[in-house]
Amino acid sequence: MSKDGKKLRYDEGCLASHALNLIGDRWALLVVRELMFAPKRFQMIRAGLPGITASVLTQRLAQLRDVGVITHDEKLGIYALTDLGRELLPVLEALCRWALIAPGHDPTRFISPSALMISMGVNLMSDRASGITAKAGFDFGSEAFEMQVADGRLITKAVNTPDAPFTLKGDGNTLAFTVYGAAPLTAMIAKGFASATGDLAAAQIFIDLFRLEPQT
């Protein structure tokens, strides 16, 4: 039991245990993932978590709000991460890196747009990206992002309409296959995995900066 009377999952002084008491419930970190780039309403959060029930999502949002990870504008019905919540991005990235070396990953299962954007931040080949400045747009229909590579680093932000030399369009899974697969972009477009507008040559150069494997 905590000092404020709340029941603890782990009654330990370990910092990792403290963190898990706050964000260790099932779905909690994935809710954070869906809010990492932009505030969202309930149904949009749920769209990125197809296995969650409405009641469980309601519980997780309340729990995350109570511990200061998210805020809720009740008038607008919008949930957003706090500064504390945004500090969980490196945690999500570390889990992605660990998953690259853990067996059993199935990339054919559902991938949300936010999940792909975080994944690409982990799988940028910094040595290949060194000295390159490039900008890309991603349009998932209900969500859109701009991604910029500069000085070997990746900056991603949610936008209404991408303003970039090219924009790739599809869902989380088809664009993951397009970015990480071995086939050329033109072949993926021809097969219907993705569509694109703008400079396809620049788009190919951009996606060649990413590889789904542990970075050495």
> What pLDDT shows up at residue 6?
65
**Could you tell me the pTM of the whole model?**
0.94
| pLDDT of 13 | 92
CATH architecture of the domain covering 15-85? Orthogonal Bundle (1.10)
**pLDDT (0 to 100) of residue 80:** 98
Residues of the chain with pLDDT under 70: 1-7, 216
What CATH number is given for 89-207 in this structure?
3.30.1050.10
pLDDT (0 to 100) of residue 215: 76
Q: How far apart are CA 84 and CA 69, in angstroms?
A: 6
Structural Rg of the chain based on CA atoms: 19
Q: What is the reported pLDDT for 2?
A: 57
The reported pLDDT for the residue numbered 187 is: 97
Backbone dihedral angles phi then psi of residue 179, each to the nearest 5 degrees: -75, -45
The secondary structure of the chain as a DSSP string is --TTSPPPSS-S--HHHHHHHHH-STTHHHHHHHTSSS-EEHHHHHHT-TT--HHHHHHHHHHHHHTTSEEEETTTTEEEE-HHHHTTHHHHHHHHHHHHHSTT--TTS---HHHHHHHHHHHB-HHHHTT--EEEEEE-SS-EEEEEEETTEEEEEEESS--SSEEEES-HHHHHHHHHSSS-HHHHHHTTS-EEEE-HHHHHHHHTTB-SS---
Structure tokens at 148: 């910029």
Q: How far is CA 127 from the centre of its chain?
A: 22
Domain ranges within the chain, ordered by starting residue:
15-85, 89-207
For CA atoms 97, 98, 103, 105, the dihedral sign is negative
First to last CA, the chain: 43
